Amino acid sequence: MAINLNAEIRNVAGKGAARSIRNNKNIPAVIYGEKKATIAIELNGREFEMLLKKTGLRTKLFQIKTNEGTEDAMLMDVQYHPVSDAAIHADFKRIDVKKPVNVVVPVEVINADISKGLKLGGTLNFAVRKVALRGLVDVIPEKIIIDLATLTIGDVVHGTDLVLPEGVELGLHQAELAFAIIGGKMPMEEDEKAKSAEMAASKK
């Protein structure tokens, strides 16, 4: 579902104008892309700060309404004040909702507490925590889940093993990445190693 955002067109750009907007508790922003002119806008500071508390905004469609019409866009970047950590600027990129977009989303592991491999004494190496995806903006997920429940020692979750929504595909160079690995040795292997060591010691 799209996020509706109201904005005002800024007719004056530059650091002085941006400072004035922030002094009024609002946030300067721009909308660019799709071979159209970049437009400077002003967002309601309180409303945008509240919005930033939500997760997954980088995968959402924003419909930004101004007095010149509505722009379909995605949030690309937010700049924060180094001391107060308040948002001070935002960048939006226009998109064509009928064309696939490239995004990076977080990867999350679940069921570590009941994982077969971890219960056997294995260790989790959660090596890659973000994945590049390509798809229409309305089907791109906020995150990708790796379920550890049935994984055992020695199992590796590559990009090709990730469960993706229909219509979403991996981005470039993601297929062979090892996102999660359960390392260690099976208890049987440890027993065999101990027995071999005992036999070697007894022959001395």
Residue 119 sits in the same domain as residue 158: yes
Residue 91 has pLDDT above 90, yes or no: yes
Q: What is the pLDDT of residue 19?
A: 85
Average pLDDT, the chain: 91
Q: What is the pLDDT of residue 9?
A: 94
- How many domains does the structure of the chain reveal? 2
Dist CA 83 CA 60 (whole Å):
28
pLDDT digits (tens, 9 = 90+) for 2-25: 999 999 998 777 777 888 899 889
Confidence class for position 106, pLDDT limits 50, 70, 90? very high
Which residues span the domain enclosing 122? 101-190
Q: What is the pLDDT of residue 190?
A: 52
Q: What is the pLDDT of residue 193?
A: 53
Q: What is the pLDDT of residue 11?
A: 79
Tell which of 94, 110, 144 closes a domain. 94
Confidence class for position 36, pLDDT limits 50, 70, 90? very high
Residue 85 sits in the same domain as residue 132: no
Residue 178 falls inside a structural domain: yes
Residue 88 sits in the same domain as residue 156: no
Question: For position 114, which CATH number holds?
Answer: 2.170.120.20
Ordered strands of the 178-183 beta sheet: 123-126, 178-183, 156-158
Q: What is the pLDDT of residue 200?
A: 53
Residue 117 sits in the same domain as residue 57: no
Residue 87 sits in the same domain as residue 116: no
Residue 144 falls inside a structural domain: yes
Residue 105 has pLDDT above 70, yes or no: yes
Residue 90 sits in the same domain as residue 10: yes
Residue 78 sits in the same domain as residue 105: no
Residue 90 sits in the same domain as residue 105: no
Residue 109 sits in the same domain as residue 140: yes
Residue 78 sits in the same domain as residue 106: no
Residue 54 falls inside a structural domain: yes
Residue 196 falls inside a structural domain: no
Question: For position 87, which CATH number holds?
Answer: 2.40.240.10
Residue 56 sits in the same domain as residue 129: no
Long-range contacts of 41-45 (CB under 8 A, 24+ apart): 41/7, 41/8, 41/9, 41/10, 41/66, 42/7, 42/8, 42/9, 42/10, 43/5, 43/7, 43/90, 44/6, 45/87
Residue 201 falls inside a structural domain: no
Q: What is the pLDDT of residue 185?
A: 87
Tell which of 64, 94, 124 closes a domain. 94
Residue 71 sits in the same domain as residue 10: yes
Residue 203 falls inside a structural domain: no
pLDDT digits (tens, 9 = 90+) for 123-164: 999 999 999 999 999 999 999 999 999 999 999 999 999 999
Confidence class for position 201, pLDDT limits 50, 70, 90? low
Q: What is the pLDDT of residue 63?
A: 97
Tell which of 94, 125, 159 closes a domain. 94
